[in-house]
Amino acid sequence: MNEKFEQFTIICKALNEQGITPLLMGSVGLEVLTERSWQARDLDIHVPGDARGWDVPAEKSIDEWSEIMKRMEGLGYRLVDLHEHQFLKDGEEVEFGIIDTLPAFAGIPIEQLKLQERAGVCFYLPTAEQYLRIYEASSKDSYRSNKNNNKDQEKIMYLLELQQNNPGNLSF
């Protein structure tokens, strides 16, 4: 099992205990889905919050933020960037996003996300088709393109190839 996914399961367990079922996003989620390494540099976890996203003050945009912070601190993480909801522990980065922004951002209704139960935790994981929509939307975001050196393009090409080779079957 991937080290970052193991890290996620520990955090996810704490979130599940709080009544939160998070969405595993980013390269780690894509690695879990495709069983292929995407050289994830951080862990992206989306939790319930205000669908307006960046338009809301950072400390108010994520539901139960103060409790999430306490749980993260209890796991040995420290908040390093409130605006990005970013934590750090032993050089490992964890960033929280808002699951409720997904419909407006990538056109994916939350109720269409697949619920997963692995390693004793419950979380949502996008399908390959949903990841394609997420990365295509992300590629239009100049901030993200600059930050990721267009790494998303490689993922988009991979997912498009999967789509071409498996028409109508990207729901794995």
Q: Is residue 165 part of a domain?
A: no
| Model confidence band, residue 172 (pLDDT cutoffs 50, 70, 90) | low
- Full domain range(s) for residue 51: 3-108+115-126
Structure confidence at residue 112 (pLDDT) = 96
Structure confidence at residue 43 (pLDDT) = 97
Structure confidence at residue 54 (pLDDT) = 87
Q: Is residue 161 part of a domain?
A: no
Tokens of 131: 């990841």
CATH number of residue 31's parent domain? 3.30.460
Q: Is residue 167 part of a domain?
A: no
Q: Is residue 37 part of a domain?
A: yes
Structure confidence at residue 12 (pLDDT) = 98
| Domain total of the chain | 1
Contacts of 69-78 spanning 24+ positions with Cβ under 8 A: 71/11, 71/14, 71/15, 71/18, 72/11, 72/14, 74/14, 75/10, 75/11, 75/14
Q: Is residue 170 part of a domain?
A: no
Structure confidence at residue 167 (pLDDT) = 67
Q: Is residue 155 part of a domain?
A: no
